[in-house]
Amino acid sequence: MNIGFIVDASSKIGLGHWSRCINIAKILNKKSYFFSRYYPSEYKRSKNINLVKIKKKKFCIEELKDKVIKFKINILIIDNYTFNFNLQKNIKKYVKKLIIIDDCIYKRYCCDLILNYSFLDKKEEVILKKKNSKIIFALGPKYLPLHPKFFELKKKVKIRKNIKNILIFFGGSDSKNLTEKLLVLSKFFKYIKFSIILGSVNKNKKL
């Protein structure tokens, strides 16, 4: 069984979409193909994960259809906000199962399953399900696709009351430059040590 992912990554888009798809690919442990227009510059091909470059600036059904057929994709996972209902409807014809990862509750989808790991209240769930009555849902943070290592670390984590060290990471790009804002506030927490990670496509790394 081959898995396909339609996903992009850049300083503007961020690395979140790419990272969670990589996590899903590792969890599934099947041969995976990433169909991408933009991707991390430090990307390196790894076991079972292959990058397939999309040449056009906008996703084109003809180009994607050819690649889906060529690589014999059984399950296609889309984690991309630009992939609209009509594109979903057209590509769905060429795969056995189509899965959409999205955090919007007002969209109409054409797929087999929607994965939305946001904290949704009952009203938001009703809105989403009403618009997409024939689709299977995976809703809530329990479906967050974490790296497999986190499942092992969870077994070792203990609840601590006295916090002395805090790790901060605002994603691969931090397009809103929240890291710098936090540095200004950190001086008010004299007894806490902050460890800050900067993403690989963060444009403010030299600050």
Q: Please say if the pLDDT value at position 90 is more than 60.
A: yes
Cα(148)–Cα(189) distance, integer angstroms: 33
Average pLDDT of the chain, as a whole number:
87
Model pTM?
A: 0.79
168, 182 Cβ separation under 8 angstroms:
yes
Highest mean predicted confidence (pLDDT) among 35-39, 70-74, 202-206: 70-74
Domain shared by 70 and 167, yes or no: no
Q: What's the confidence (pLDDT) of residue 42?
A: 65
Contact yes or no for 197/168 (Cβ under 8 A)? yes
In a domain, 96, yes or no: yes
Give the structural domain span for 188.
158-197
Least confident of 7-11, 65-69, 126-130: 7-11
Confidence of residue 76 (pLDDT cuts 50, 70, 90): very high
Sequence-distant (6+) residues with CB within 8 A of 120 are 105, 128, 139, 140
Cβ neighbours of 84 (radius 10 Å)? 14
Q: Specify the number of domains making up the chain.
A: 2
Confidence at residue 189, expressed as pLDDT on a 0 to 100 scale = 82
Residue predicted with more confidence, 75 or 199: 75
Secondary structure of the chain as H, E, C letters: CEEEEEECCECCCECHHHHHHHHHHHHHCCEEEEEECCCCCCCCCECCEEEEECCCCCCCHHHHHHHHHHCCEEEEEEECCCCCHHHHHHHHHHCCEEEEECCCCCCCCCCCEEEECCCCCHHHHHHHHHHCCCCEEEECHHHCCCCHHHHHHHCCCCCCCCCCEEEEECCCCCCCCHHHHHHHHHHHCCCCEEEEECCCCCCCCCC
Asked if residue 165 and residue 143 are part of one domain, the reply reads no
For position 24, what pLDDT does the model report?
92
Question: Does residue 203 form part of some domain?
Answer: no
Q: With bands split at pLDDT 50, 70 and 90, how would you rate the model's confidence at 181?
A: confident
Give the Cα separation of 22 and 12 in Å (integer): 19
The reported pLDDT for the residue numbered 44 is: 60
The CATH number linked to 21 is 3.40.50.11190
Structure tokens at 66: 């050819």
User: Are 55 and 89 in the same domain?
Assistant: yes
Stronger pLDDT, 9 or 136, i.e. the higher one: 136
pLDDT at 171 over 80: no
pLDDT (mean) for 15-30: 88
Taking only the tens place, the pLDDT of each residue in 92-104 is: 999 999 999 999 9
Tokens of 132: 């997409």
**Lookup: tokens for 161:** 């009351």
Q: For position 111, what pLDDT does the model report?
A: 97
Same domain, 179 and 121: no
116-128: average pLDDT:
93
